[in-house]
Structure 1
Amino acid sequence: MTHWIIAPVVLPAIMAPILLMGARHDMVLARIFSIASTVALLGIALALTTMVSDGTILTYALGNWVAPFGIVLVADRLSVMMLVLTAVLALAVLFFAIDGSDRDGRHFHALYQFQLMGINGAFLTGDFFNLFVFFEVLLIASYGLMVHGGGPARMKAGVQYVVINLVGSTLFLIAVGMIYSVAGTLNMADLAVKVPHIAAGDQALLQAGALLLLLVFCIKAALIPVHFWLPGTYANAPAAVAALFAIMTKVGAYCVIRLYILAFGADAGAATWLAAPWLLPAALLTLVLGMTGVLAARRLGQLAGFAVIGSMGLLLTSIALFTPIALSAALYYLLHSTLAGAVLFLIADLVARRRPGHEDGLSVAPGFTQLKLLAGAFFIAAIAATGMPPLSGFIGKLLMLDAALDSVHAAVIWTLILGTSLIAIIGFGRAGSTLFWKSTGEPGSFPEHAEKNSLSLIAIGLLLAGCVGLTLFAGPLTTYLDATAEQIFATDQYIEAVLGNTVLPGGSL
């Protein structure tokens, strides 16, 4: 047992109150502490990556209470990969925020650290009840971040965001109660052992609880028909917050992988692949809806929000095939879509600052400062987001198309992926030509602060560089992700790592 596993949770949990109490009146000190903490999180995540790179699954039993009776954290290839992605995204977004937007409201950096605590905990926990706890931590922090800076539109979107997530939290608690009532456990590994042996009379309650959990995770992932909250929420949130929220939809996808491969996978008896009949159709519809929204968007921030919905539909389409090759492709696309989605919100914010009276609306306006630079950044981001060659989005879609060849739904999947890609290209092309190509010919209004954004541009550059890096190192990365997918489907390894080898047919000793 290594104590490093709990560090990604403990570090931001300690740093947040320090920022809240000790640095709330000193913005420079708050920024230094926040950056230092996030850099340390990245270092810890990379260190954990080296520990699990050989296939080892590490566990940490809080208070030395053994699973399934105590709280257990689990670090495997998948969870550690998500930690690295979160830290990279958080660091880039933090550079953007400290360029000035963190001054728009109080306690930004403390809330930011609490947010990272909740996200990291959700990726590391090995227990569904504690997953609920970490969900609440990240959601409470996100409520404050969502309304950071105030304003009527932001408050309205924030209320909608709070209401939908409170409903989701209520359903989550009901679902875990239903599952615990028949299985007697919420430990993921122990649940995987006990689900196949649930009495026939209790199967209906077990499956109802599992489907309710699927609904909750679909809310987090913005899957149709519970997607409606995302475009307005993300478009009206502060740009740095919306960019960080790009990882939160991936929390929902991560939970689907954990629950429906580990606990309700191939050995789950009557509950085998419980999510499959529902997940694939919903994912495909979400893909179509999201990319259609890209075409119909009237604001750049709204376009970015619909692009996130479309990317989640594509991601969950591949996950819903429930094969190692499809999951590996999905994980590659997950990395890509998180970075590509986040950078769109940052670009939209910089454009909006330079177009007073027009903001990020897709309308012809006077020219503005740094137009060529932002046009180039948007062009690269659009190539990545739409899946055009040569960037990582193209590679991710090729991997998904290849993985779908053996599916009985291959024709439908191919048609919708290629068709929606064309729609997305048209939508991004329309937005880019309107914002950066056309002009009224009038002299633009150049705000004084417009040039003081070096850190914002660095943040955008880091995220775009991440997409380029995913492209350049696609070979070794896909090899690593293939091994990650194989480990996820080798559920016996996970169960033995958490429970040891003292497992009986009806549960664990």
Structure 2
Amino acid sequence: MEHLAILPIILPLLSGVMMLLPPVSSENSRQRALSLATCGALVLVTLRLLLQASSGEIQLYVLGDWQPPFGIVLVADRLSTLMLLLTAVLGFAAMLYACGGDDKRGKYFHPLFMFQLMGINGAFLTGDIFNLFVFFEVLLIASYALLIHGGGKQKTRASVHYVVLNLVGSSLFLFALGILYGTLGTLNMADMSSKIGLLSGSEQAIASTGALLLLVVFGLKSAMLPLQFWLPRTYASASAPVAALFAVLTKVGIYSILRVFTVIFGEQAGGLAGIATPWLWPLAILTLVIATLGILAASSLRQLIGQLVILSIGTLLAGIAMSKVEATGAVLYYLVHSTLVCGALFLLADLITQQRGKAEDRFVTARRMCQPVPLGIAFFIGAMAIVGLPPFSGFVGKALILQSANIENQAAWVYSAVLIGGMAALIALSRAGTTLFWNISREKDACEPVPRLQLSAVFLLLATSPILVIFGGPITDFTLDTATQLHGLSRQLGPLLPGGGS
């Protein structure tokens, strides 16, 4: 158990390296078996980590026994382990779907998928903001290759925009790290938190520049307005299991905003306390507005789901902007819900595309699907959940966020934007369902039944929505405890400071 905290990084890393050993082939059953075994092991390991963290204990893993702030430290608290388990469940379902045939489109799908998981898990575990940058780069490099998996002009065009934009974001990230290291002399998050309130006026002005640059970088990763334009085209062009896994990539940005601007620039930061809040409020509302317009204008199912991801990001940012424990707890519940359901919808969109012939997932008349009943049921459940209608988890998540907005000015903006966005999603998904399943041409059915493995992966993710409701009591208690720990972390930094608090 001593080395449990590093396993979410080591397992996919070793698995990916082993897959690169000869023979390497897209037809290799060894890669499929190893990928599924690794993803299954990650679910068990991260679940164990979450159960350990649920007591409130912060688990540290100090690599090479170099104590913070000089060494590399992994921090497994309630928030990081929750994100690890979320990634593991989503990754397992996406891999299950890929093993239905999508992985054969390219030779290196499985090792790239493993390296992607390694980067995501590392970003959630690291206690050092420079290593956050390192793991960002690992997951981004893997995502560049996964995006063009299977080839095609559309994928290549989308990948160019995605790569260029993220290279700019990486450059800004380095500038921000240089500024903060120059003023604080450390990049360990706990150490930064203890020193940020001691800065003089001129040093605070410099550090604020670094902080706002980080907000830009994390806003780019999370698809916050005005940096959201890359997401719909990128996600629509990616293969289904890749797009499903990408559903958690935006949440890496959300996690980083929560972690950095609550722990480092929290209440103990003096003049820099809450530096992101004045920016988050208008950007969150505008993200909701632009996503609402995008939802109504979407011409295909995958574009529509991409806009729904942006809508969920706007909702999460609005909750973060409230800067309250209750709102953060609601954000975490809604984050888990939206990630899993959007992942399921990306997989479902691919199955619908396979059965509609040349029309693919566009909202036009097409031939009848040969499996309309299971796909229709899946679409209905996914649409109900993502819109936020009872009895699914989207309703609980949105209700918790709206309940947190108990200040008059907050309530007016949040209620209006969230409810109007939900209404637009309901209208768009109703139109989509009517067109995809009922607007049928006279063309003969010529499709093949979808593999059971792929259909199982879709229903596996969709099943998480009613599970989040059935076990809503303990889950919301855990997310509230997680939020309480996160907001109070600046007062509990002893174990994370030089010498381990001794």
Interval containing the TM-score (normalised by the shorter chain) = over 0.9
Q: Counterpart of 2:392?
A: 391
Q: What per-residue deviation string (whole Å, max 9, x for no partner) do you get for residues 459-485 of structure 1?
A: 001000011111111111001111111
Contact kept? 1:292, 1:424, Cα under 8 Å: no
Q: What per-residue deviation string (whole Å, max 9, x for no partner) do you get for residues 304-329 of structure 1?
A: 10010111110111011110000000
Q: Counterpart of 2:177?
A: 176
**CA 156–413 in structure 1, closer or farther in 2 if over 3 Å, else same:** same
**Which of 480, 491, 497 in structure 1 is aligned with 2:489?**
491
* Residue identity in the other structure for 2:12: P
Q: Counterpart of 2:371?
A: 370
Q: Counterpart of 1:506?
A: none
Q: Counterpart of 2:216?
A: 215
Q: Counterpart of 1:13?
A: 13
Q: Counterpart of 1:82?
A: 83
Q: How big is the shift at 1:274?
A: 0.4
Q: How big is the shift at 1:501?
A: 8.1
**Mapped partners of 2:181, 2:79: distance in 1:** 25
Contact kept? 2:266, 2:490, Cα under 8 Å: no
Q: Counterpart of 2:470?
A: 472
Q: What per-residue deviation string (whole Å, max 9, x for no partner) do you get for residues 345-374 of structure 1?
A: 111111111111101101111212101211
Residues 37-46 or 406-415, more deviating: 406-415
Contact kept? 1:340, 1:385, Cα under 8 Å: yes
Residues 26-35 or 486-495, more deviating: 486-495
**Mapped partners of 1:23, 1:125: distance in 2:** 34
Q: Counterpart of 1:256?
A: 257
**Mapped partners of 1:366, 1:383: distance in 2:** 25
* Residue identity in the other structure for 1:340: V
* Residue identity in the other structure for 2:355: R
Q: Counterpart of 2:37?
A: 36
3-state SS, counterpart of residue 268 of structure 2: coil
Q: What per-residue deviation string (whole Å, max 9, x for no partner) do you get for residues 92-143 of structure 1?
A: 0111101001000111000000000000000000001000000000000001
**CA 302–502 in structure 1, closer or farther in 2 if over 3 Å, else same:** closer
Contact kept? 2:172, 2:213, Cα under 8 Å: yes
TM-score by length of 1: 0.96
* Residue identity in the other structure for 2:21: M
3-state SS, counterpart of residue 106 of structure 1: coil
Q: Counterpart of 2:106?
A: 105
Q: What per-residue deviation string (whole Å, max 9, x for no partner) do you get for residues 410-447 of structure 1?
A: 1111111111111110011111101012212432222x
Q: Counterpart of 2:322?
A: 321
**Mapped partners of 2:355, 2:466: distance in 1:** 27
* Residue identity in the other structure for 2:462: L
**Mapped partners of 2:408, 2:92: distance in 1:** 39
Question: What pairs up with 1:326-405 in 2 under 5 angstroms?
Answer: 326-405=327-406
* Residue identity in the other structure for 1:240: P
Contact kept? 1:111, 1:144, Cα under 8 Å: yes
Q: Counterpart of 2:142?
A: 141
3-state SS, counterpart of residue 35 of structure 1: helix
Q: How big is the shift at 1:497?
A: 2.4
* Residue identity in the other structure for 1:487: Q
TM-score by length of 2: 0.98
Q: How big is the shift at 1:376?
A: 1.1
Contact kept? 2:68, 2:500, Cα under 8 Å: no
**Mapped partners of 1:113, 1:179: distance in 2:** 32
Contact kept? 1:487, 1:493, Cα under 8 Å: no
Q: How big is the shift at 1:493?
A: 5.4
3-state SS, counterpart of residue 267 of structure 2: coil
Contact kept? 1:247, 1:338, Cα under 8 Å: yes
Contact kept? 2:357, 2:367, Cα under 8 Å: no
Matched residue count: 501
**Mapped partners of 1:492, 1:199: distance in 2:** 20
Contact kept? 2:389, 2:395, Cα under 8 Å: yes
Q: How big is the shift at 1:61?
A: 0.8
**CA 103–212 in structure 1, closer or farther in 2 if over 3 Å, else same:** same
Question: What pairs up with 1:417-428 in 2 under 5 angstroms?
Answer: 417-428=418-429
* Residue identity in the other structure for 1:223: M
**Mapped partners of 2:299, 2:190: distance in 1:** 46
Structure 1 stretches of 4+ with a deviation exceeding 3 A read 500-503
* Residue identity in the other structure for 2:83: M
Q: How big is the shift at 1:23?
A: 4.9
**Mapped partners of 1:110, 1:502: distance in 2:** 36
Q: CA RMSD in A?
A: 1.4
Q: Counterpart of 1:277?
A: 278
* Residue identity in the other structure for 2:314: G
Q: Does 1:481 align with 2:479?
A: yes
Contact kept? 1:295, 1:428, Cα under 8 Å: no
Structure 2's unaligned 5+ residue stretches are none
Contact kept? 2:194, 2:490, Cα under 8 Å: no
**CA 460–267 in structure 1, closer or farther in 2 if over 3 Å, else same:** same
**Mapped partners of 1:202, 1:242: distance in 2:** 42
Q: How big is the shift at 1:486?
A: 0.5
3-state SS, counterpart of residue 358 of structure 2: coil
Contact kept? 1:308, 1:341, Cα under 8 Å: yes
Contact kept? 1:321, 1:407, Cα under 8 Å: no
Question: What pairs up with 1:136-215 in 2 under 5 angstroms?
Answer: 136-215=137-216
* Residue identity in the other structure for 2:20: L
Question: What pairs up with 1:41-120 in 2 under 5 angstroms?
Answer: 41-120=42-121
3-state SS, counterpart of residue 60 of structure 1: strand
3-state SS, counterpart of residue 362 of structure 1: coil
3-state SS, counterpart of residue 409 of structure 2: coil
Q: What per-residue deviation string (whole Å, max 9, x for no partner) do you get for residues 57-83 of structure 1?
A: 010111000001111000000000000
Contact kept? 2:340, 2:461, Cα under 8 Å: yes
